[in-house]
């Protein structure tokens, strides 16, 4: 067997170990379907003064975002379905216990003038080493997730991170440009006293007593002895001038279905996409 082939086999074996460290144990998983409403106050006031907003003002109250999660004690899957002009697009994420994987998926092939313009399947795929699945990153580092996936992570997937020596950050990353937090954030977090440990409440502070982010569970349900938020709320604040603070965004989420689930599997097509992309390293 050639050295080149040996190196390929070893690399592929390492990749499988990275992506499937929990494959030897089926474990227990909970399947969650939820709707999340995000109201971007900062964007609303930004466009409020534009001419077009006088005749057709945008609504701050957006339609609910559908989210699907499958969660276990140290791994999870999340799928975010888009609507409107992005209804052909789905984002999917996995936490395997050692890595965080993110993929964008085109649902239907689009043709223009009888030629394929956009091919269906997985497109942009990223993988990052992670021992807790936390998508938040400190100053001068880009968050792994944007707001639409960060919110359900806090509500349904953050248990593995909160069990460890965690570092929580506000989910809307604009704080990195607007808030002085060189040492990160202190948090006052209470969690459910069960085997999964999702948060009941979270408050984040920077250098002062001003609350930067707040999360609160209002109703709960129980599956497999784990507690989940039937309904939750959150708000993030940003500076307004010298001494004032205003809401940056607010969000409300509710579970629409919950029950037993199966261990998430990363599709082979994602592995193929990763291997074909030269900028990915393992």
Task: Give the residue extent of every domain in the chain.
Answer: 3-276
Are residues 97 and 117 in contact, defined by beta-carbon separation less than 8 angstroms?
A: no
Residue 28 CA to residue 15 CA, distance in Å, equals 24
Residue 215 CA to residue 67 CA, distance in Å, equals 18
User: How distant, in Å, are the alpha carbons of 12, 77, 79, 90, 198 from that of 274?
Assistant: 11, 18, 19, 18, 31
- Express as a percent the part of the chain with pLDDT over 70: 69
Sheet containing 76-81: give its strands across: 121-129, 99-106, 89-95, 76-81, 65-71, 29-40, 244-261, 226-240, 211-223, 199-205, 186-191
Which class in CATH covers the domain with range 3-276? mainly beta
pLDDT of residue 20: 44
pLDDT tens-digit map of 59-115: 555 678 899 999 999 999 999 876 654 566 788 999 999 999 998 876 666 555 555
Residue 15 CA to residue 32 CA, distance in Å, equals 28
Residue 233 CA to residue 253 CA, distance in Å, equals 7
pLDDT tens-digit map of 215-249: 999 999 999 999 999 999 999 998 887 678 888 89
b/e burial code for range 20-36 (CB count within 10 A of at least 16 → b): bebeeeeebbbbbebeb
Beta-sheet pairing, 29-40 with 244-261: antiparallel
pLDDT of residue 14: 39
User: How distant, in Å, are the alpha carbons of 33, 49, 152, 186 from that of 238?
Assistant: 30, 20, 21, 16
Q: Which of 107, 137, 176, 133 is nearest to 264 (CA)?
A: 133
pLDDT tens-digit map of 21-58: 433 345 799 999 999 999 887 654 544 444 444 555 55
Tell me which H or E stretch contains 53. helix 51-55
pTM higher than 0.95 for the full model? no
pLDDT of residue 59: 53
| Of residues 209 and 275, more confidently modeled | 209
pLDDT of residue 280: 39
Are residues 135 and 153 in contact, defined by beta-carbon separation less than 8 angstroms?
A: yes
Q: Kindly state the tokens that stand for 103.
A: 């993929």
Whether 269 has a pLDDT exceeding 60, the answer reads yes
User: How distant, in Å, are the alpha carbons of 175, 195, 210, 265 from that of 207?
Assistant: 13, 33, 8, 42
């Amino acid at each position: 067997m050639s050295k080149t082939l040996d190196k390929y086999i070893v690399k592929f074996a390492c990749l499988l170990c990275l992506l499937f460290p929990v494959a030897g144990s089926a474990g227990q998983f909970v399947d969650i379907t939820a709707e999340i409403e995000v109201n971007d106050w900062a964007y609303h006031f930004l466009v409020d003064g534009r001419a077009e907003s006088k005749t057709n003002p945008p609504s701050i109250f957006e339609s609910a975002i559908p989210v699907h999660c499958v969660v276990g004690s140290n791994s999870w899957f999340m799928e975010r379905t888009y609507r409107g002009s992005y209804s052909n697009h789905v984002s999917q994420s996995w936490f395997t216990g050692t890595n965080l994987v993110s993929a964008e998926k085109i649902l239907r092939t689009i043709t223009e003038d009888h030629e394929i313009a956009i091919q269906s399947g997985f497109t942009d795929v990223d993988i990052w080493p992670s021992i807790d699945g936390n998508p938040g990153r400190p100053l001068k580092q880009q968050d792994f997730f944007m707001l639409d996936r960060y919110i359900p992570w806090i509500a349904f997937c953050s248990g593995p991170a909160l069990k460890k020596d965690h570092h929580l950050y506000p989910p809307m990353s604009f704080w990195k440009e607007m808030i002085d937090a060189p040492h990160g954030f202190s948090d006052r977090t209470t969690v459910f006293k069960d085997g999964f440990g999702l948060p009941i409440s979270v408050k984040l502070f920077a250098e002062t007593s001003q609350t930067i982010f707040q999360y609160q569970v209002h109703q709960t349900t129980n599956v497999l002895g784990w507690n989940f938020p039937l309904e939750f709320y959150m708000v993030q604040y940003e500076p307004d001038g010298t001494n004032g603070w205003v809401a940056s965004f607010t969000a409300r989420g509710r579970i629409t279905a919950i029950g037993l689930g199966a261990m998430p599997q990363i599709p082979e097509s994602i592995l193929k996409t990763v291997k074909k992309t030269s900028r990915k390293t393992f």
